[in-house]
Amino acid sequence: MTNMVSAWLSNSKKIFILSLLLFAAGIWYCVYLFLYTQIWNKMMAGLEEEVKQLEQKSQSFYASPDFEKFSFAKKIEDESMQMPRSDHIEAVSEIFDSVVDVEWDSYNIELSDFKISLDQISLRGFVTNLKILYNAPEKSKKPSLIQRFQDLGFLHDIAIQTYDQAQGGIGYDFVLTAKVENNYDK
C-alpha cells in the first residue's frame, strides 16, 4: 500500500505541477490579451484623432473665404468656357464667310453643301480636273484648293474624303473635310 500511496503522491504532484503550468499559461495569455487590446485601443484612438483633425481641416478649408472665391472663380471659368449660342453662331458665320470669300472661279470649282461647326467643316464640290484639288495649275501662280484652305489659318487636317467621276463623265464630285482650330478668334 505504501507503493500505491507513493505512486498516488507522485501522480498528484505531476497533476499539480501540470495544472500550475496551465494556470500560469492562462494568466500569461490573459495578460497578453489585455496588453494587446490596450495597444490596439491606443492605435485606434490615435487614428480617430487624426481623422477628426483632417475633417476639421477640410471643413475649415471649405468654410474659408478663399475657397468660396476659388469655387466662384471655377464656376465662372467653367461657364465662360462654354461659348454662348450667339457667339457660337457668329463664329460659325465668320468661318463660313472666310471659306466663301476665297475666289474659286478661276479654277472651275463649285462648292456646295457646307456643314460648319466650331470643330469641323465639310463641304461638297465639283472640279473639272483632280489636279486642281492637290496641285496648282502650272501656268497659274494661285495655290491648289487644299493650299487655299490651309491659308485660311484656322483649318487643319484638311482632306479630300471621297471623289467620284460626275455624271456625264465631265469633272469630279468630291467631299472635303477639315478640323477647325479650337482657339478660333474673330
Q: What are phi and psi of 124, to 5 degrees?
A: -105, 155
Instruction: With CA atoms as reference, report the closest residue to 88 among 155, 186, 154.
Output: 186
The per-residue pLDDT for 14 is 81
* pTM exceeds cut of 0.85: no
Task: Express each pLDDT in 110-132 by its tens digit.
Answer: 778 888 777 788 888 888 877 77
DSSP annotation of 106 reads G
pLDDT at 103 over 70: no
pLDDT at 36 over 90: yes
Decide which of 78, 95, 128 is a domain's last residue.
78
Residue 186 lies in a domain: no
Residue 46 lies in a domain: yes
Instruction: With CA atoms as reference, report the closest residue to 186 among 154, 149, 155.
Output: 154
The per-residue pLDDT for 185 is 47
Distance CA 45, CA 48 (A): 5
CATH classification of the domain holding 164: 3.30.70
pLDDT at 16 over 50: yes
- Please indicate, yes or no, whether residues 7 and 54 belong to a single structural domain of this protein: yes
**Tally of domains in the chain:** 2
Full domain range(s) for residue 111: 85-180
- Please indicate, yes or no, whether residues 90 and 162 belong to a single structural domain of this protein: yes
The per-residue pLDDT for 186 is 43
The per-residue pLDDT for 1 is 57
